[in-house]
Amino acid sequence: MNRLDGKVALVSGAARGIGAASAKLMAEAGAAVVVGDVLADKAKQTVKEIEAAGGKAAFISLDVTGERDWQAAVKLAEQRFGKLDILVNNAGLFLGRDFEEVTLDEWHKLVAVNLTGVWLGTKVCTAALKAAGTQSKHGSAIVNLASVAGLVGSQLDPLYSMTKGGVTLFTKSTALAYGRKGYKIRVNSIHPGVIQTDMGAQTFVARATQTGSNDTDAAKTVALRGHPIGRLGVPEDIAAGICFLASDDAGFMTGSALVVDGGLTAQ
């Protein structure tokens, strides 16, 4: 199940956190993975770990806000591994601040990564995904990292929520556009609850700060209580959902939103 044998994937923001876990799980499931990030040393470490486990991977220096970087990433996938079947638009930023305090420069940076990055990745990878899709029963796949904050409002970061809401609907609109054009590319979004990564830790700091405290452990406990399943998420929880959406097991899914949040938004 959820096998990716013979597939080639490109994962943005794969140096750490959810992106790194996804790159590793996809390689374990049989895909060759292009690991893209601005954090070169950490991303190269992801590649080393994949190769040490017997998988195939390659590093590319990828700033998702730059069109040329995306073009180089697609070229590497095609030259090294022969094609591109899967794009995971994972790179993202979280500010964790009230919108009254955020500067225009900070906003532009957030939008550049969380929105421009997703659109550019989709735009630049479309031709390669379209070509690979014709050779596969259920086509190629894009998985976009949205968030629970792309489904309901966020108390901690309304601007992050605005960008993730954009990713949620861009996913659906892209699925419609590909369908209309006859491209065999499925596009789905995934919506994590609080996941224990660097960004997850940032949310505890934001929660503490916004309640006038430095107690991030207490903030983490509040976050935990919001998850009816009784624990916070780990990157592997989301990687499993990403592998599923990228695999032929999700062959009848496009334009949909997979919520992996331990019940956070069920209440």
Q: Which of 9, 10, 15, 208 binds ligand NAD (CB under 6 A)?
A: 15
Residue 136 or 202 with smaller CB distance to ligand NAD: 202
- Please tell me whether residue 144 binds ligand NAD under the rule CB under 6 A: no
Which residue among 4, 7, 9, 17 contacts ligand NAD (CB under 6 A)?
17
Q: Is 87 in the site for ligand NAD (CB under 6 A)?
A: no
40 vs 127 by CB, closer to ligand NAD? 40
Q: SS3 string of the chain?
A: CCCCCCCEEEEECCCCHHHHHHHHHHHHCCCEEEEEECCHHHHHHHHHHHHHCCCEEEEEECCCCCHHHHHHHHHHHHHHHCCCCEEEECCCCCCCCCCCCCCHHHHHHHHHHHHHHHHHHHHHHHHHHHHHHCCCCCCEEEEEECCHHHCCCCCCCHHHHHHHHHHHHHHHHHHHHHHHHCCCEEEEEEEECCECCHHHHHHHHHHHHHCCCCCHHHHHHHHHHCCCCCCCECHHHHHHHHHHHHCHHHCCCCCCEEEECCCHHHC
Query: Count residues contacting ligand NAD (CB under 6 A)?
Result: 30
243 binds ligand NAD (CB under 6 A): no
Pattern 98-117, ligand NAD, x by CB under 6 A:
---------------x----
* Closest approach of ligand NAD to the CB of residue 184, in Å: 26
| Residue 160 among the catalytic residues | yes
195 binds ligand NAD (CB under 6 A): yes
Q: Which residues bind ligand NAD (CB under 6 A)?
A: 12-13, 15-19, 37-39, 62-65, 90-94, 113, 145, 147, 192, 194-195, 197-200, 203
